[in-house]
Amino acid sequence: MASMDLRTEHRQTQTLSPRLQHAVRLLQMSSLDFAAMVRDKLGQNPFLETEEGDDGEALPGADDAAERESDRDSEPQELDGIAGNEAGDDRDMWQGDTAGSTRRAEDGEISAMEMMAVETTLNMHLHEQLGVLPLAHRDLMLARAIVESLDDDGYLRTPLEEVAQVLQLDPPPTLVELTIALKRVQSLDPAGVAARSVAECLQLQLGKIDCPQMRALAERIVGQHLQTLAAKDVNGLAHQLGETPARVEAVCDRIRRLDPRPGWHFGSTQVAYVVPDVLVRRVRGQWNVQLNPAVVPKVRFNQVYAELFQRHRSAQNTEMAGHLQDARWTLRNVEQRFSTILDVATAIVRRQRHFLEYGPMAMKPLVLREIADEVGIHESTVSRVTNNKYMATPIGVFELKYFFSRAMISANGSACSATAIRGLIKDIIEAERSESPLSDAEITRQLARQGLVVARRTVTKYRQMLKIESVERRRRHS
């Protein structure tokens, strides 16, 4: 019979404090996200300040500010008025308020805000087209309701019945009216907008195909064999349609040039640029690794405010005490983050210097544990450091994790990295004759003759990673 009893047990476990968890998250951030976080801290924490201003000059401290205030009080009032007027003129020049813009337009001047391009969204583009159509008020309201129901891809994911519920029209719109409004929106630019499925989106764009026979075959493929098209089974499509593989392949190529997401051409035009965290240069035969000054936040501890707070500290100032502790932790995290990135990048360059000198063929096998043992940190820390961190080298910009690849043993027992094999596959394909391209099996045999035993499916995977087409498509293009 089971009995119930109480007993004590000693167990040692490892837990992460909230501060340590926060430091781990900061280490995993990209440089842009980390810089945004530091800017938020600068705006919230009075104990943090930037080391340099926007003009590159060091920001003055509290003593300098007080001295500048006394100097300004001793200056004539006329100088203050002139400076104030100049500052006001500058603000008026760059402010984009309505009153200022109207006044400058009357004076014949153009403000900087008026010269900025206005971002055109998909909804704006469609509403502009609806505005010039000779539609009745009810029909225009139905079409605009459908436009407002589109998602970012340009698809109508909402059922027409739910669109009708949003409209407060009397009498309520019927399904026939909503269908007509949908067809009217689908006739607008870009082609394929307001589709309810991928097949419908492609069908709305088939009118771009000039050849009637090719357009008819494309309609059959999109309407009845879309899954086979997605699987790129040309022979299977040719058998099902009773057409030659060459003709089916030509039609499939034309279908693939259609846009399955017409809404992506509108909206935000911002480009996310890659900012390298580490700069690698060769100086006097040695590889020099240094942090990119552009990504290191120029933040420092405001010692004047800290001393004033310590001098007048009381039990009621708990919020300021929290800011003081958070400022110290922020500076410590900044220093620890970039010192760890620099140590890991230096260790990577030390092991992959042949890659920097001779290219991908000289890439050595490398795993996270090797760098972790050399730097003296945990393997998971190396994984976080190499994620979303980039290195600028004389041969290009690479993510830090690009330098890690598993080892593949050759016939003579030596190790070769997967990156080197991909580079070798690329060289083999570039050296092939255009009239007789090599298949993946033939590439596998060539690698075996060079002592590299690689499976054919591995060659296929590496070829796809290099974005190189299959042998059939390369032969057809040649």
SS3 of residue 107 by DSSP: helix
Domain final position from 186, 208, 224: 186
The arithmetic mean of pLDDT across residues 415-424, rounded, is 83
pLDDT of 7 above 70: yes
Nearest CA to 418 out of 364, 455, 369 is that of: 364
Percent of the chain whose pLDDT exceeds 90: 19
The parent domain of residue 427 ranges over 407-477
Helix (H, G, I), strand (E, B) or coil at 250: helix
Q: pLDDT tens across 106-126, in order?
A: 455 555 555 556 677 888 899
Beta bridge partners of 280: 289
Q: Distance (Å, rounded) from C-alpha 399 to C-alpha 403?
A: 8
Helix (H) / strand (E) containing 327: helix 318-351
Q: Residue 222 has which token pair? A: 């999109």
> Which of these, 305, 297, 263, 9, lies nearest to 152 by C-alpha position?
263
Task: Give the pLDDT confidence score for residue 63 in this predicted structure.
Answer: 40
**Domain identity same for 372 and 439:** no
| Weakest-pLDDT range from 12-21, 265-274, 338-347 | 12-21
Tell whether 431 and 473 lie within a shared domain: yes
- If asked whether residues 287 and 172 sit together in one domain, one would say no
Residues 386 and 325 in one domain: yes
Same domain for 296 and 396, yes or no, is yes
- Residue 81 in domain: no
Confidence band for 416, pLDDT divided at 50, 70 and 90: confident
Query: What's residue 182's pLDDT?
Result: 92
Identify whether residues 341 and 438 lie together within a single domain. Answer: no
In this prediction the pTM is 0.56
Q: Determine the average pLDDT of the residues in 67-92.
A: 40
Query: Which is more confidently placed, 118 or 44?
Result: 44
Range ranked top by mean pLDDT from 158-172, 340-354, 461-475: 340-354
Q: Are residues 294 and 362 in the same domain?
A: yes
Residue ending a domain, among 375, 403, 431, is 403
Which of 388, 403, 418 finishes a domain? 403
Structural domain contains residue 50: no
1 falls within a domain: no
Range of weakest confidence among 2-16, 165-179, 376-390: 2-16
| Higher pLDDT pick, 331 / 169 | 331
Name the DSSP class of 283. Answer: E
Give pLDDT, residue 226: 85
Task: Supply the pLDDT for residue 240.
Answer: 87
Q: pLDDT tier at 397 (50, 70, 90 boundaries)?
A: very high
**In this structure, are 309 and 204 located in the same domain?**
no
The better pLDDT of the pair 30, 440 is held by 440
Sheet containing 278-283: order of strands: 286-291, 278-283, 390-393, 396-399
What's the burial of 371, exposed, middle or buried (CB within 10 Å: 0-12/13-18/19+)?
Answer: buried
| Residue 64: inside a domain | no
Confidence of residue 172 (pLDDT cuts 50, 70, 90): confident
One domain for residues 300 and 374:
yes
* Encoded tokens for 278: 């580490």
In a domain, 376, yes or no: yes
pLDDT at 326 over 50: yes
Is 90 exceeded by the pLDDT of residue 105? Answer: no
Contacts of residue 38, defined as CB under 8 A and 6 or more positions apart, other chains included, come to: 297, 299, 330, 334
Q: Is the pLDDT of residue 303 over 70?
A: yes
CA atoms within 13 A on the CB side of 379: 6
Q: Rounded to an integer, what is the distance from CA 16 to the centroid of its chain?
A: 30
pLDDT of amino acid 294: 87
Q: Are 444 and 454 in contact (CB under 8 A)?
A: yes
If asked whether residues 282 and 399 sit together in one domain, one would say yes
Residue 356 forms beta bridges with which residues? none
Q: How many CB atoms lie within 10 A of CB 15?
A: 6
Total count of domains within the chain: 4
Instruction: Check whether 236 has a pLDDT greater than 80.
Output: yes
Q: What is the mean pLDDT of residues 17-26?
A: 69
Look at residue 1 in the predicted model and tell me its pLDDT.
Answer: 53
The verdict on 307 and 258 lying in the same domain is: no
Instruction: Say whether both 309 and 394 belong to one domain.
Output: yes
Spatial contact of 156 and 182, defined as CB atoms under 8 Å apart: yes
Average of per-residue pLDDT values in the chain: 79
Q: Which amino acid is at 460?
A: T
